[in-house]
Structure 1
Amino acid sequence: MTTMRSRLIRTTLGFVEFWKAVSHFLKSCQVCAKTAMNLQSIPNFWISPPTSPLNLPFEQTGKPIPEHPTSLWKSIVKVLPEVYENSKWKFKDGSASFLYDRWLASGPLNEQALEVTNPRMKVRDCWIEDGWDLAHLQELVGEVKAEEIVLTIGARKEGSDIIIWKLNDNGDFSTSSAWDIVRGQVETFDYVLNSGDIATTVWKWASLALGVHYMGPQSWWTRVNRWFTRAKNASQRGILIGLLPSLITWKLWGRRCKAHMEEIRESTEEVWLKIKVWLRLLAEEIVKVSKLSKIDNELLKAFEVPMSSKTSKPTLFVSWRKPADGWVKLNIDGSSLGNPGPCGGGEVIRDHHGNMIAGFSAPYGFGSSNEAELRAMINGVELCKEMGFQQVEIECDSAVVVNWLTNRSCRIWYLWDYWEELLKLLDGISFTISHQNREANRAADFLARQGADGITMSYMHIDQIPNLLRGIIRTEKLGFPNIRQ
């Protein structure tokens, strides 16, 4: 008995020690990643490594590696490539290394076989006053690369250069995202919708609820396609099986967007509850027209689908309103086909009588809907200022962008350049910003879709615009309501 007890104690202690070791390993990986990020934030660190017990010259310097580097430094160097790959510089005073720091999307210049004789050159060494010295830049990197640099990086700004952690939309480093790199779980489309911890749990719960066998690791498309092959119109269960993949995908993507845009992180239970609510709303329509089997009844009870008759929803009417006397109204919209995908923007300026003053559509290349909204607003405000309008009512159907302007804060790092440009443009004019439903923003929506289709157009008179857009503007001027879907 004593022997068995001592074995049990030793086994338990061994288990505890094992998990202590695992916990220590996880923390050390995160600490190393954090240290690597901090080291990289030192201006010109690549060419001037600090002299310390951890000192290890980088490959870029061409110096030999010490014979006996510390174990901590080995751990830092191990995660450094991943940290380096997922970070970039945002310039203000241009103190970062011209050659070795990652400030171009195509990577550091030293990795692109460019012959620059001065390894200690800083970015600001290629600036004249607030802009690039184009002749010097072309001499250093050639015309093609110089054009990429000038188009990508704007003018000098006040403050110090900032290093951006690309895995978080706010640009801040976090150990949780660093650990995702270490264990190979960087956010991808499949990770968000299928293979991540929350996605996996939701799919398992859905499989259990509807009696669909849960398969192990497989792609999102394979999993969804398998569900669709089980969908049948002949029964409630078959119809729900057909509905769930779309609802799950929608709500998992919505969770991801909330976490990135609003910093709200929903739990697995919250996501599943929302899926059940929407499934219940959709199933209510199906219940009225189909015969229910015993299995169907049990299923509907499990999802709390009420057996009630159809109730009509109240009709909501929305309409475009004219601006105040002496003001102009700027309606803007951004469109992204795929989000992200080919994107464009549109804007319409109208006076207090509702007459169109100007309209514009522009393509913006590949980007998100939020990027398109910001760039459309920049174009619209620029046009207002060029035409001498100092009192502008801005309407936009993106609640996210309206909240950013209301709170004077955009936390999406890859939109900061557009954000700063917009704030600078808004200085010196009187403006209001308000959210408008899409149904009352149809003119700007029409032009934004043109832009996303690659069409650049400028309209300075209503007779120049397409017939459909002309009809929209005239009905909005008359105050005709639109039905809110």
Structure 2
Amino acid sequence: MHQRVTRQKAERLSRRSGIPLTADLGKYLGIQTINGRITKGRYQSLLLRIQKKLAPWKARRLSFAARLTVAKSVSASLPVYHMNTELIPVGVCKSIDKINRDFIWGDEENKSKMHLVAWEKMTLPKNLGGAGIRPTRQANLAMLAKGGWRLLKEKDTLWTQIMYSKYGRQQRHLDILRPSQGSSFTWASFTKAASLLKKGCAWNIKNGKHTKFWLDPWVLQVPLKEIAIGQLPAGSEEMTVADFVHDDGTWRTDLFERLLPPSISQKILSVAVDKLSIEDDTLFWSASSDGNFSARSAFNLSNDHQQDVDEPLWKAIWKLPVVERVRSFTWLVALGRIATNGLRHTRKVADDPSCYRCIGQSETVLHALRDCSPASFFWSRRVPPSRQHSFFSSNLRDWLRENILSKDSMATGMDWSAFFCTSCWLIWKNRSTACFEGMGAALSPHSLEHAIMAKTKLWHDAWNAPSRLPSNRQAPADWVLAHVGWTPPPEGWLSLHVDGASSGNPGPAGAGGVLRDSSGRWVAGFVANLGTATAALSELWAISYGLDIARKAGCRFLQVASDSQLAIQLISTRQDPIHPYATLLTAIRRKIGSDWVVRIAHTYREGNRVADWLSKHSLVYPYGMHELADPPNGVTSILRDDMLGTTFERRIITSSTPPL
């Protein structure tokens, strides 16, 4: 019985319908049906299921790496149905996180273990030094944002039509996700993720006729009005993006460049607008490369770690060709959080910070893994003499960087980085055995060395065994030394070589291209200052402008060459309409498909030197595309080399398609 229906009315409805009264609507797909006020008690069954999966007795039988893996798996799967449609109360989210945290560190009832790493650190992405665990609250908001995204994109489905008819009220796009009095719990949950959704949504400009230039997020994740300098002209707030573009697609810079920071104006200049297109502007997800929504990208966006330093060491640790327990141990070492006596003394769980072997020496991470006598004996026999000084004198972070980021290999074929990390783990295991079982239980320095060498070889062979099976064997790439240069087109054809350049990706970007006949003579050329763009976008602009130049020159048979395989792939593969480059790609395909013959192929940079020079010198020109009737002085020598057939040595894969 619903709490807003009187008892008398509920009984009357029950008699007429034959449906008995109940205060509990039961479960659907394992989830308790919502009826009444949402309390923490409603989620007790969920908490009990998670506790059962992450029971303390299971933790005692698993390594730290295994507990970490199990906790991620359970927290990512069990609450998923709830997270898609319900905003789980904060208290429940904290309880789930606590269950995960206690399981990972092996806590038992009334017996807490030492948590070596703060929870805030563990929930960071792996590339930022964390363990990649998703906090329940942020994961919940990311899932709800997915529901909001579907609501915006799947307007023809029954459930979205019901939602729009009940809550839409003629609102524009993202404005529909606003709280409504008396709304369902599901709708109220979606609205809680509206701020996250707005943060990641942007407009993909097609004809620009339905996106407000100042009021809608399209070039940034916030409306341009919020960063405008000074007062906007009267009536300009209702102007669309199309109103700021000439019919030929170039921008009317006089309407906005004095009202925006230069960096933003430069970014606008690289956006393609096709005023002649019949396609309307579409929403896309700016937090992913292809414009499609993903819960992972929404989660990363909610954590807002863009300003954090992406340390190569962290990526290298989690990609080591070793077992997971060695990766997890190495991560703890890099954080300085293995349970040495020094750390235990700091945490007040040990009376003496000294090493159990080296009395008077504080047991730090470096001491335990490098400087203590068994470790020092082992490394002095395995590290090449030329590297021993830096190996034994560097601090912890430099020591790890030098060895984990090393590209060296051992005589056995094992990567030095894998050998180094596995050896550190085995040295630590031997130290722990001596600590807790007595010195007699630990291996002597000589025995430890033999054990490490035997185990690392065994694990290396096991790790690489699948690659030796016939079903998994990949043919090695055949590299040959080739002579690469500019290749003239067939007689009667013209050759268009183009290139794009971006300093910063995204950053100041330009494009350039040259049109030549079969003898190598300059027919036409261009440079283009694109403003601010990515490398891929500048390559696409180069192809687009190059096609315009070739068409204007009266070309009927055209051979296009670019050194960007990505740009060629994007053009040849039909993209989703919400792809960030969809408008420009559509325009390029339209130009290619007109009444002429166009072939596009990849070339190496050595065969694209003229276009490369033009693209790099394009930024000295004002914004826009500039035709070049004659070659600039700096490029004449390169043109002459191409006409003479000059080539350059380059290692290429013989199985690849021969470039132009």
TM-score by length of 2: 0.48
**Aligned counterparts of 1:22 and 1:211: Cα–Cα separation in 2:** 25
- Rounded Cα–Cα distance in structure 1 between residues aligned with 2:289 and 2:314: 21
- Aligned counterpart, 1:214: 331
Query: What SS does the aligned partner of 2:559 have?
Result: strand
Q: In structure 2, which of residues 190, 197, 205 is the aligned counterpart of residue 76 of structure 1?
A: 190
Structure 2's unaligned 5+ residue stretches are: 1-43, 52-74, 86-139, 156-162, 336-365, 367-378, 392-398, 417-448, 465-477, 652-660
CA contact (8 A) 1:93 1:124 kept: yes
Distance in 1 (alpha carbons) for counterparts of 2:236 and 2:626? 46
* CA distance in structure 1 between the partners assigned to 2:246 and 2:149 by the alignment: 30
Alignment match of 1:317 (pick from 483, 489, 492): 483
Q: Quick one: distance in 1 between partners of 2:619 and 2:544?
A: 16
For 1:33, give the aligned amino acid.
A
Q: Paired residue for 1:439? A: 606
1:440–1:188 CA distance, 2 compared to 1 (3 A):
farther
* Greater mean alpha carbon deviation, residues 391-400 or residues 353-362: 353-362
Matched position secondary structure for 2:193: helix
- CA drift of 1:42 comes to 9.4
2:15 is aligned to none
1:83 CA displacement: 0.5
Could you tell me which of 262, 273, 282 is aligned with 1:154?
273
CA contact (8 A) 1:342 1:365 kept: yes
CA distance in 1, matches of 2:188, 2:608: 57
The equivalent residue for 2:105 is: none
Partner of 1:34: 146
Cα contact 2:317–2:330 (8 A) shared by 1: no
1:377 aligns with 2:434: no
**What percentage of residue pairs aligned between the two structures are identical?**
19
For residues 68 and 193 of structure 1, what CA distance do their matches in structure 2 show? 50
Cα deviation for residue 318 of structure 1 reads 2.0
Q: How does 1:270-281 map to 2 (within 5 A)?
A: none
Match of residue 102 from structure 1: 217
Contact 1:236 1:296 in 2 (8 A): no
**1:448 — aligned with what?**
615
Matched to 2:147, the amino acid is T
- The answer to whether the aligner puts 1:399 opposite 2:565 as a matched pair is yes
Alignment of 1:240-319 (within 5 A): 242=402, 244-245=404-405, 314-319=480-485
C-alpha spacing 1:472/1:123, structure 2 compared with 1 (3 Å): closer
Q: What SS does structure 2 have at the residue aligned with 1:483?
A: strand
| Structure 1 residues 5-154: aligned runs within 5 Å | 15-16=48-49, 22-28=79-85, 29=140, 30-40=142-152, 50=164, 52=166, 68-89=182-203, 90-92=205-207, 94-95=209-210, 101-105=216-220, 107-108=222-223, 111=226, 123=240, 144=259, 154=273
> How far, CA to CA, are the matches of 2:482 and 2:612 in structure 1?
20
Structure 1 residues 105 and 439, CA gap change in structure 2 (3 angstroms): same
Tell me the distance in 2 between the aligned counterparts of 1:190 and 1:207.
24
* 2:629 corresponds to 1:460: yes
1:170 CA displacement: 2.1
Is the CA contact 2:501–2:535 (under 8 Å) kept in the aligned structure 1? yes
1:348-359 alignment to 2 at 5 Å?
348-359=514-525
Tell me how far apart the structure 1 counterparts of residues 589 and 226 of structure 2 sit (CA, whole Å).
35
CA distance in 1, matches of 2:233, 2:490: 58
**CA–CA distance in 2 between the matches of 1:281 and 1:315?**
28
SS in 2 for 1:354: coil
Question: Where does residue 28 of structure 2 map in the other structure?
Answer: none
Which runs of structure 2 are paired with 1:409-424 in the superposition (5 Å)? Answer: 409=575, 413-424=579-590
Return the match for 1:173 from 293, 306, 309: 293
Selected match of 1:164 from 284, 295, 315: 284
Is the contact between residue 56 and residue 66 of structure 1 (CA under 8 Å) also seen in structure 2?
A: no
Which deviates the most, 149-158 or 383-392? 149-158
The structure-2 alpha-carbon separation of the partners of 1:357 and 1:108, relative to structure 1 and needing over 3 Å to count, comes to same
Q: Deviation per CA, 1:205-261, whole angstroms, max 9, x where unpaired?
A: 59987999534787xxxxxxx9xxx9x9745796996475387xxxxxxxxxxxxxx
CA positional deviation for 1:177: 2.8
CA distance in 1, matches of 2:552, 2:619: 24
Shift of residue 408, structure 1, vs aligned partner: 4.9
Aligned positions, number: 404
- Partner of 1:482 in structure 2? 648
SS state at 1:214 partner: helix
Query: C-alpha distance in 2, partners of 1:50/1:12?
Result: 33
Letter in 2 for 1:165: W
Letter in 2 for 1:447: L
CA, structure 1 residues 410+350, in 2 after alignment: closer, same or farther (shift >3 Å)?
A: farther
- Counterpart of 1:159 in structure 2: which amino acid? E
| Superposition deviation, residue 167 in structure 1 | 1.8
Q: Give the AA of the match of 2:633.
A: I
Asked whether the equivalents of residues 348 and 360 of structure 1 are also in contact (C-alpha less than 8 Å), the reply is yes
Deviations 1:285-335 (A, max 9, x none): xxxxxxxx9999997997689xxxxxx974322232211111110111222
What is the letter of the counterpart of residue 279 of structure 2? G
CA contact (8 A) 2:147 2:190 kept: yes
Deviations 1:241-282 (A, max 9, x none): 6475387xxxxxxxxxxxxxxxxxxxxxxxxxxx999x9699
**Do the aligned partners of 1:171 and 1:413 also contact (CA within 8 Å) in 2?**
yes
Q: How many angstroms does 1:100 deviate by?
A: 5.2
Q: 1:356 to 1:313 in 2, by over 3 A?
A: same
C-alpha deviation, 1:50, in angstroms: 4.5
Aligned partners of 2:641, 2:556: CA distance in 1, in Å?
Answer: 27
- What residue is the counterpart of 2:318 in the other structure? 201
Per-residue deviation, residues 346-391 of structure 1 (Å, max 9, x unmatched): 2122111122223333343332221121111122222222222222
The separation in 2 between residues aligned to 1:280 and 1:166, in whole angstroms, is 43
Local SS of the residue matching 1:315: strand
1:365 aligns with 2:531: yes
Distance apart, 1:13 and its partner CA: 9.4
Q: Tell me the distance in 1 between the aligned counterparts of 2:511 and 2:574.
A: 22
TM-superposed deviation, 1:406: 3.1
Letter in structure 2 aligned against 1:162: T
Q: Provide the secondary structure at the position in 1 that maps to 2:540.
A: helix
Using the TM superposition, give the Cα deviation of residue 419 of structure 1 relative to its aligned residue in structure 2, in angstroms. Answer: 1.9
The one-letter code of the counterpart of 1:442 is: R
For the residues of structure 1 that align with 2:257 and 2:602, how far apart are their CA atoms?
46
Superposition RMSD on alpha carbons, in Å? 5.5
**Structure with larger Rg:** 2
The residue identity in structure 2 corresponding to 1:80 is: A
